[in-house]
Amino acid sequence: MKVASIGLGLIGGSFALALQEHVLEVEIWGIDHNQAHIEAALARKIIHHKGSIDDLKNFDLIVLSIPVDAASALLPEILHQAEKECLVIDMGSTKNDVCEAVKNHVKRNQFLALHPIAGTEFSGPKAAFASLFNNAMMIVCEAEKTDENLKKKAYQILQKLKMQLHFMSPKEHDKHLAYVSHLSHVSSFMLGKTVLDLEKNEGEIFNLAGSGFESTVRLAKSNSKTWIAIFKQNKAEVLTSLKEYQQNLKEFEKLLETNQFSELENLLNSTSRIKEILAKK
């Protein structure tokens, strides 16, 4: 199987490694506007050859793992170049814009919109590893719009990668992900900023930070370009979730400020189901 992997970051790089581990006879051409990524991906044998975005004929599979704004912009032309038997998949963290971008495309049925629920706070081909997708969930959007044979091929590959398929609409996807992923990133970035602001006056404050702080700001290490694109594409849902989060913080503040401690305890206890939920994961 000849594969073009466009985008050689954590996701694209890990997917290329996983393909090599689980799918027989895979040959991968890597494409990335960052030359250092190409070199690192060749050195780590994530890819076999350097490819070109202007030469996408003769592939069986084209994998798009680039920032979501670039994916929406480039997908129509990529799909245009894809030959009849070629499947094009995208792995971005938002799904509505990319599906909109090709909804009337003459080759719409060669595209499958995916989002793996897997990642780390690290980025680039050096952060890639083959087992990233093992047992992870893969969200599939608008599956009904993809050609049956190409879809079958995709599912066979994802099954070999031990991924669990979960089907939903792009709108539903973007709403839910705003709450369980994008909001966590906003929270982490701004928590990091709040403490960095204090550090300007208070010196070595980070010496005092324990594992709890580390856990809540871990996502602030994420790539800002990747995340700006996600916040931009999912603006409405991110803003809705952020407003609700701020209302809850305001409620906490009000109860503490006015010494309503038993109500504050009720508020904390109302989140206790999180224990069971995380225990199951």
The owner of tokens 């324990």 is 210
Contacts with 18 (C-beta within 8 Å, 6 or more apart), sequence order: 130, 131, 132, 133, 161
Question: Closest distance between a second copy and the C-beta of residue 210, in Å?
Answer: 4
Region of 16-24, 26-34, 83-91, 203-211 interacting with a second copy (CB under 8 A): 203-211
State the greatest distance between any 2 C-alpha atoms of the chain, in Å, as a whole number: 69
Question: Closest distance between a second copy and the C-beta of residue 33, in Å?
Answer: 18
**Residue 270 is a binding residue for a second copy (CB under 8 A):** yes
**Residue 245 is a binding residue for a second copy (CB under 8 A):** yes
The owner of tokens 């989002």 is 115
Half-sphere exposure of 31 (CA within 13 A, CB side): 17
**Residue 214 is a binding residue for a second copy (CB under 8 A):** yes
**Residue 212 is a binding residue for a second copy (CB under 8 A):** yes
When the beta carbons of 107 and 185 are compared against a second copy, the nearer one is 185
For a second copy, the binding residue among 166, 167, 169, 171 (CB under 8 A) is 166
- Asked if 76 and 102 count as a contact pair (C-beta separation under 8 A), the reply is yes
When the beta carbons of 86 and 138 are compared against a second copy, the nearer one is 138
Kind and range of the H or E element at 5? strand 2-6
**Residue 171 is a binding residue for a second copy (CB under 8 A):** no
- 107-126 residues in contact with a second copy (CB under 8 A) are 117-121
CA 251 – CA 247 distance, rounded (Å): 6
Question: Closest distance between a second copy and the C-beta of residue 89, in Å?
Answer: 19
- Asked if 136 and 117 count as a contact pair (C-beta separation under 8 A), the reply is yes
**Residue 127 is a binding residue for a second copy (CB under 8 A):** no
**Residue 205 is a binding residue for a second copy (CB under 8 A):** yes
**Residue 249 is a binding residue for a second copy (CB under 8 A):** yes
The gap from C-alpha 206 to its chain's centroid, in whole angstroms, comes to 29
For 101, other C-beta atoms within 10 Å of its C-beta total 18
**Residue 60 is a binding residue for a second copy (CB under 8 A):** no
When the beta carbons of 36 and 196 are compared against a second copy, the nearer one is 196
